[in-house]
């Protein structure tokens, strides 16, 4: 998503969507300067979503989940204690 306009309080993307910046920026930045920060933040969010999906998938498969008796299940040698 390309940033086309930035103020201290909001930014706009090429699709016309406007997003608030909370808290407001302390100084003015150009769209290209802001784009670098936006891209970094988007990459972090995407990686967190991927990790979340991986954890959900492993629980759906029974890895690190609970069996029908409510006991912890360690059905895979690759299970970790994530979420324990």
Whether residue 81 has pLDDT greater than 60: no
What does the pLDDT read at residue 79? 52
Whether residue 50 has pLDDT greater than 50: yes
Q: Is residue 83 part of a domain?
A: no
Number of domains observed in the structure of the chain: 1
| Domain span at 42 | 3-62
What does the pLDDT read at residue 76? 46
- The answer to whether 41 and 11 are in contact (CB under 8 A) is no
Q: Is residue 80 part of a domain?
A: no
Q: Is residue 77 part of a domain?
A: no
Q: Is residue 67 part of a domain?
A: no
What does the pLDDT read at residue 80? 52
Q: Is residue 14 part of a domain?
A: yes
More reliable by pLDDT, 81 or 61 = 61
Q: Is residue 37 part of a domain?
A: yes
């Amino acid at each position: 998503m390309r940033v086309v306009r930035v103020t201290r309080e909001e930014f706009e993307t090429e699709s016309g969507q406007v997003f608030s910046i909370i808290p407001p920026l302390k100084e003015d930045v150009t769209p290209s300067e802001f784009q670098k920060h936006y891209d970094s933040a988007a990459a972090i969010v995407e990686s967190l979503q991927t990790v979340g999906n991986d954890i959900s998938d492993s629980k759906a498969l029974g890895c690190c989940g609970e069996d029908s008796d409510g006991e912890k299940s360690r059905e895979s040698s690759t299970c970790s204690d994530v979420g324990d």
